[in-house]
Amino acid sequence: MTTERSRWSDLDRPPLNARALREGLTRPDSLWTHLDVVASTGSTNADLAEAARAGRARAGAVLIAEEQTAGRGRLGRTWSAPPRSGLFFSALLQPEADGVPPARLTWLPLLAGVATAAALSRAAGVDTPLKWPNDLLVRVDGAERKAGGILAERVEGGSGVVLGIGLNVSLTEAELPVPQAGSLLLARAVTTDRDPLLRAVLRSLAEWYTRWTAAGGDAAEAGLLEAYAAGSATLGRPVRAELPGGGELLGEAVAVDGEGRLVVATGDGRREPLAAADIVHLRAT
């Protein structure tokens, strides 16, 4: 008799150890106050935001899904991957209550990119440069590919910000949703064990968040501006900025300013700060 193989039975993709993660991450002196792992959900960002609005989640809550069926990215994009093939999680933060003025909240997703890249360098041995504002890139056979993304969303009613991170860990070439995607496996990471990777990312995120809030959200004082520039795959390159509502801007990405905006120098000598745009890296001519 043959038994149909379950999509949850892949021995190369064991489940996360929720109990061990809680014990290691939700200590009294930790930023993280509560941690849940669910088998499947539409979107961890949507679920955690709803829990915050209903008073069922407080600052420091982390929600992790083994599978997301309706994950969201920037500009209305979707994010999908096989069960247990990546890290898909959201954290509830309250930066304004922690002393960050509203004008500086734009740095939160960039901070998450710096923290995640630093963690993956240590834990996975993979360089993950940042494409502005917060895409995590890897190199696969010499080509840049997107392996992760970050989405920060304010919770209605003043309950903070939900910060979502999605990272492809063990996806094979055949499983990639688009040819431009990548994974830690394809980038030859030293490990694809998601438990230590998740621990590393959450600890790094807590370190950077604590440093940033202690500086009142000042990215330069916190060392965040320097760290982002050092890890950027966008700065110093010719880019095409596809602007919200249509239109585009061509030029060289020359800086990230104090508000986290990308500054593009155009051919006619202008320096345009962009708060939102879809950036395409162009080949140098």
Let me know if residue 73 belongs to a domain.
Answer: yes
Q: Is the same domain home to 226 and 249?
A: no
Q: Is the same domain home to 57 and 157?
A: yes
Q: Is the same domain home to 67 and 207?
A: yes
Let me know if residue 210 belongs to a domain.
Answer: yes
Q: Is the same domain home to 217 and 263?
A: no
Q: Is the same domain home to 198 and 246?
A: no
Q: Is the same domain home to 186 and 59?
A: yes
What distance in Å separates the CA atoms of residue 205 and residue 214, rounded to the nearest whole number? 14
Percent of residues, the chain, with pLDDT higher than 90:
87
Q: Is the same domain home to 33 and 158?
A: yes
Per-residue pLDDT at 7 exceeds 70: no
**Which of 230, 249, 268 is at the close of a domain?**
230
Q: 10 falls in which pLDDT band (50, 70, 90)? A: low
Q: Is the same domain home to 114 and 205?
A: yes
Per DSSP, the residues of 170-199 read S--GGG-SSTTB--TTTTT-S---HHHHHH
Looking at residue 159, what is its pLDDT?
Answer: 75
273: domain CATH number is: 2.30.30.100
Let me know if residue 134 belongs to a domain.
Answer: yes
Sign, CA torsion 202/207/209/210: positive
Let me know if residue 266 belongs to a domain.
Answer: yes
Q: 79 falls in which pLDDT band (50, 70, 90)? A: low
Instruction: State the total domains in the chain.
Output: 2
pTM: 0.93
Per-residue pLDDT at 166 exceeds 70: yes
Q: Is the same domain home to 130 and 264?
A: no
68: domain CATH number is: 3.30.930.10
Let me know if residue 9 belongs to a domain.
Answer: no
Are 92 and 59 within 8 A, CB to CB?
yes
Q: Is the same domain home to 124 and 251?
A: no
Host domain of residue 221: 18-230
CA-nearest of 245, 249, 251, 262 to 109 is: 262
Per-residue pLDDT at 75 exceeds 90: no
Looking at residue 280, what is its pLDDT?
Answer: 96
Per-residue pLDDT at 1 exceeds 90: no
Looking at residue 3, what is its pLDDT?
Answer: 41
Q: 4 falls in which pLDDT band (50, 70, 90)? A: very low
Let me know if residue 37 belongs to a domain.
Answer: yes
Let me know if residue 1 belongs to a domain.
Answer: no
Q: 157 falls in which pLDDT band (50, 70, 90)? A: confident
Let me know if residue 79 belongs to a domain.
Answer: yes
Beta strand 248-256 with 238-242 is: antiparallel
Q: Is the same domain home to 101 and 187?
A: yes
Q: Is the same domain home to 110 and 243?
A: no
Token output for 227: 């760290």
